[in-house]
Chain A
Amino acid sequence: MAAPLPDVTLASPLPPPLPSLVNARRLRTQRVGRALRLWVPAGVLILILAICFLLPLVVSLPSSTKGNIIYNNEPPFSPGHILGTDVQGVDIFSQLVYGGQVAFEVGVSVTIIGIAIGGTLGVIAGYFGGWVDAVVSRVFDILIAFPALVLALVIAEGLGPSEMHTIWALSVFGIPAVGRVTRGATLTIRGLPFMTAARLAGTRGWRIITRHIVPNIAPTIVTFSLLGIGVVIILEGALDFLGYGIPAPTASWGKMIANGQQILSAQPEYVLIPSIALLITVAALNMLGDALRERWGTQ
Chain B
Amino acid sequence: MTDALLEVEDLRVTFAAGGREVRAVDSVSFAVSPGATLAIIGESGSGKTVSCRAIMGLLPTGTAIGGSARLRGTELLGLSDAQLRRHRGSDLAMVFQDPARSLNPTMRIGLQITEAIRTHRKVSKAEAQTQAIELLRLVRMPAAERRFHEYPHQLSGGMRQRVMIAMALACRPKLLIADEATTALDVTTQAQIMELLLELQEELDMALIMISHDLGLAASYADEVIVMYAGKIVEQAPAAGLFGTGGAVRMRYTRALLDAIPHLERPAHTQLPVVGGRPPDPTALPSGCSFAPRCQYAEDDCRATVPALAEHAPGHRWACWHPCENGGAA
A212 at the interface (CB under 8 A from B): yes
The proximity string for B residues 81-107 relative to A, scoring 1 for CB distances below 8 Å and 0 otherwise, is 000010011000110111001111111
Verify A194–B102 contact, CB threshold 8 A: yes
Verify A193–B96 contact, CB threshold 8 A: yes
B218 at the interface (CB under 8 A from A): no
B170 at the interface (CB under 8 A from A): yes
Closest A-chain residue to B97, C-beta based?
Answer: A193
Verify B116–A194 contact, CB threshold 8 A: no
Q: Which of B58, B107, B167 contacts A212 (CB 8 A)?
A: B107
The proximity string for A residues 200-211 relative to B, scoring 1 for CB distances below 8 Å and 0 otherwise, is 111110010001
Minimum Cβ distance to chain A for residue B117 (Å): 9
A79 at the interface (CB under 8 A from B): no
Closest B-chain residue to A214, C-beta based?
Answer: B106
Given A200-B89, A202-B85, A211-B115, are A194 and B104 neighbors across the interface (CB < 8 Å)? yes
Within 176-223 of A, Cβ neighbours of B (below 8 Å) are at 192-194, 196-204, 207, 211-212, 215-216
Verify A211–B89 contact, CB threshold 8 A: no
Residues on B with beta carbons closer than 8 Å to the beta carbon of A215:
104, 106-107
Q: Which of A197, A199, A203 contacts B103 (CB 8 A)?
A: A197
Q: How extensive is the interface on chain A, given as a class?
A: 10 to 19
Minimum Cβ distance to chain A for residue B139 (Å): 15
Verify A200–B93 contact, CB threshold 8 A: yes
Closest A-chain residue to B170, C-beta based?
Answer: A201
Residues on A with beta carbons closer than 8 Å to the beta carbon of B94:
200
Residues on A with beta carbons closer than 8 Å to the beta carbon of B54:
none
Closest B-chain residue to A218, C-beta based?
Answer: B106
Minimum Cβ distance to chain A for residue B183 (Å): 13
Within 79-96 of A, Cβ neighbours of B (below 8 Å) are at none
Verify B85–A194 contact, CB threshold 8 A: no
In Å, the complex CA distance between A207 and B115 comes to 10
Q: How many interface residues does B have (CB within 8 Å)?
A: 25
Verify B170–A212 contact, CB threshold 8 A: no
In Å, the complex CA distance between A201 and B116 comes to 5
Verify B115–A201 contact, CB threshold 8 A: yes
Residues on B with beta carbons closer than 8 Å to the beta carbon of A211:
104, 107, 115
The proximity string for A residues 138-176 relative to B, scoring 1 for CB distances below 8 Å and 0 otherwise, is 000000000000000000000000000000000000000
Interface majority SS (helix, strand, loop, mixed), chain B: loop
Minimum Cβ distance to chain B for residue A214 (Å): 9
Closest A-chain residue to B85, C-beta based?
Answer: A202
Verify A202–B120 contact, CB threshold 8 A: yes
In Å, the complex CA distance between A202 and B84 comes to 9
Residues on B with beta carbons closer than 8 Å to the beta carbon of A193:
96-98, 101-102
In Å, the complex CA distance between A199 and B84 comes to 10
Residues on B with beta carbons closer than 8 Å to the beta carbon of A198:
104, 115
Q: Indicate the member of A196, A198, A200, A216 with the most B CB atoms within 10 Å.
A: A200
Closest A-chain residue to B92, C-beta based?
Answer: A200
In Å, the complex CA distance between A147 and B89 comes to 51
Closest A-chain residue to B58, C-beta based?
Answer: A196
Residues on A with beta carbons closer than 8 Å to the beta carbon of B97:
193
In Å, the complex CA distance between A201 and B84 comes to 11
Minimum Cβ distance to chain B for residue A24 (Å): 26
Verify B106–A197 contact, CB threshold 8 A: no
Q: Which of A192, A196, A203, A216 contacts B115 (CB 8 A)?
A: A203
B192 at the interface (CB under 8 A from A): no
In Å, the complex CA distance between A194 and B163 comes to 12
In Å, the complex CA distance between A255 and B120 comes to 61
B56 at the interface (CB under 8 A from A): yes
Closest B-chain residue to A195, C-beta based?
Answer: B104
The proximity string for B residues 131-150 relative to A, scoring 1 for CB distances below 8 Å and 0 otherwise, is 00000000000000000000
In Å, the complex CA distance between A216 and B85 comes to 24
Verify B107–A202 contact, CB threshold 8 A: no
B130 at the interface (CB under 8 A from A): no
In Å, the complex CA distance between A204 and B116 comes to 11
B209 at the interface (CB under 8 A from A): no
Residues on A with beta carbons closer than 8 Å to the beta carbon of B206:
none
In Å, the complex CA distance between A299 and B168 comes to 32
Residues on A with beta carbons closer than 8 Å to the beta carbon of B11:
none
Minimum Cβ distance to chain B for residue A32 (Å): 25
B164 at the interface (CB under 8 A from A): yes
Q: Which of A197, A204, A212, A216 contacts B119 (CB 8 A)?
A: A204
In Å, the complex CA distance between A198 and B106 comes to 13
Verify A201–B105 contact, CB threshold 8 A: no
Closest B-chain residue to A203, C-beta based?
Answer: B119
Verify B103–A202 contact, CB threshold 8 A: no
Verify A201–B167 contact, CB threshold 8 A: yes
Residues on A with beta carbons closer than 8 Å to the beta carbon of B107:
211-212, 215
In Å, the complex CA distance between A99 and B284 comes to 68
Residues on B with beta carbons closer than 8 Å to the beta carbon of A194:
101-105
Minimum Cβ distance to chain B for residue A299 (Å): 16
Verify A197–B96 contact, CB threshold 8 A: yes
Q: Which of A192, A201, A212, A216 contacts B89 (CB 8 A)?
A: A201
Known: A196-B96, A198-B115; 16 extra A-B contacts, CB below 8 A, are: A194-B101, A194-B104, A198-B104, A200-B56, A200-B88, A200-B89, A202-B88, A202-B89, A202-B120, A203-B115, A203-B116, A203-B119, A204-B119, A212-B104, A215-B106, A216-B105
- Between-chain CB contacts (< 8 Å), 17 pairs: A193-B96, A194-B104, A194-B105, A196-B58, A196-B102, A199-B58, A200-B56, A200-B89, A200-B168, A201-B88, A201-B115, A201-B170, A202-B85, A202-B120, A207-B115, A212-B104, A216-B104
Chain A residues with CB under 8 Å of chain B are 192-194, 196-204, 207, 211-212, 215-216
